[in-house]
Structure 1
Amino acid sequence: MSEPTARPGRSCPLRYHYGPRAIAQAPLQTAHTLYVAGGLYGNTAALAELLRMAAAEPGATLIFNGDFNWFNVRDADFAHINHAVLRHQALQGNVEAEFHTPGDEADCGCAYPAAVDEAVVQRSNAIHRQLKATARRHPELLHYLAALPMVARFQVGEARVGVVHGDAQSLAGWGFDAQALQAADAAQRYAPWFEQAEVELFACSHTCAAGMAVYDSDRAVLNNGATGMPNRAGDLRGLVSRIALTPSPHPVWEEERKVAGAYIALLPVAYDTAAWAADFSAQWPETSAADLSYGRRMREGA
């Protein structure tokens, strides 16, 4: 249960907190090509394109770092998304973590900051309430989702990578928001997180706004924004983070950099937007909570 003073959609539950030292304790897994897909949001078309991209690189490791559920309120879509994700590595996002709260509590677990309008928060809680009802009809999948970790750590060549949903402190932390990544004091603020987590790179999502920043040439943060939603105006593609020993065979979003011996980039996920528009509208018709919050973004870009 959330803390007694918690405000649904605004607060960050205590169980979400882990801290950077917990990341350092995660098993160090080896990968030569790592795809980090945060915020799939139940987009089946984006899932298909993402799997195609990863399959084009034999031996690539794919990890879904949370919030792979959101718009998939139909039972068939919920089952399809989760069965596919669980064939790969995955972390809990706040969407998945809140499936396991008791009763019919309406809390998306987003920990929205004050700058986000209250109407947006309430609609997110309403979306999660409907999704949670669907999830409860799939107890076997919920069992597996409940066992997912909140953090992971990989070794890609010389680079150690901390994979989180939010930030180095918390599952729903906003410390790696796109604007925060570019702040003048970012390198200084993040230095203890890199050191305590024992990583050179962080890969995250959660804030739904993409960004990549390199600090002192040997540290970087990649925030892919959303794999299953547009990330800028006029561009309907999703994004995925790629960290690898070799340059990307796919187009990159802005630029590819070499940091700590690894090539890093955000890659566009050019899914079938017409198919997804039809799928989204079928589950979330006009004036529904999801349509009001996300419909324009789906049609026009972020």
Structure 2
Amino acid sequence: MKLRTLGHSGLQVSEIGLGCWQLGDDFGPISQDTANEILAAAQQQQVNFLDTADVYGAGLSENRIGQWLANNQHNSTQTIVATKVGRDAKLFPNQYTKQTMQNNIEGSLQRLGVDAIDLIQLHCVPREVLFAGEVFNWLEDFQQQGLIRFYGASVEMLDEAEFCLNYSKVTSLQMLLNIFRQDALDKVLPLATSKNVGIIARLPLASGLLSGKMSADRQFSAQDHRNYNKDGAHFHVGETFNGIAFEQGLALVEQLQQLLIEHSELDFPTQLNLQQIAIRWLLDLPAVSSVIAGVSKSQQLINNAAVSQLDKLPTEITQLLADFYQQKVRQHIRGGI
């Protein structure tokens, strides 16, 4: 597994990370054994970057990570855990105070069983809270207290990302970024690079659309946001299927797969599937520090990790994907960009 430096933190993170939302049973229940198998597979594949949040399973995801770290101390010394704060009901939507945020961070410390959190990220806090800017002063104080080592922000919109880059101690931005969400390449990624801020790419497969394995008859569990938030009823619509209506997303994936077949004459490894292409596309972006994808089975993590060893995509394919996004995809994204 290749490592990349996360912004100006100096932290060396695996370029393939593990998103741990699913470890909170938020996509449907998974057993403790399965959770441990996934975390063990991450360690075996040298995936050292885990991304979670205090709100995932009301702390269950953090608890499971903390228990695994405690039981595997000889293997976990290089594990870097990023968590998030800001969407728990004690804060969201309008109860943001420094003390309440500190209480939540201390709760995360306890569940993870660590003395300091490697990376804390604002968790898609309301725009008015973010743009007021006071939360960054709080984070700086928490850093000085030793509660956290570094801090960043997870955002939904590009203007939010740009705003965060005004703060010199922000070390990372976690954002929606994939071949069906490319606008950040124009301004945000170059700006982040100039300020030495690492990009953590979330939704690399657009909630599974870019796995190329979904069909119209796919059923999602009641707990799965792809069921209850497909039209943005509970949180930002962009977090589910990239903001694209499910049926439209399936049609776009089919068109893209056909387009790749039609251009097989290009210098392109045709044995790659769409999932590998989607992850490799992200890894080819120098601004990206880590690509975090959630998995429900250890084999999925192994498959994701293998993309780290693949060659870069040919320029012709990258351009093909850029043109397809602008001409076919962008117009279907709901909720803004």
Q: TM-score range by the shorter chain?
A: 0.3 to 0.5
Q: TM-score, normalised by structure 2?
A: 0.35
- In our comparison, the structure showing a higher alpha carbon Rg is 2
Q: TM-score, normalised by structure 1?
A: 0.38
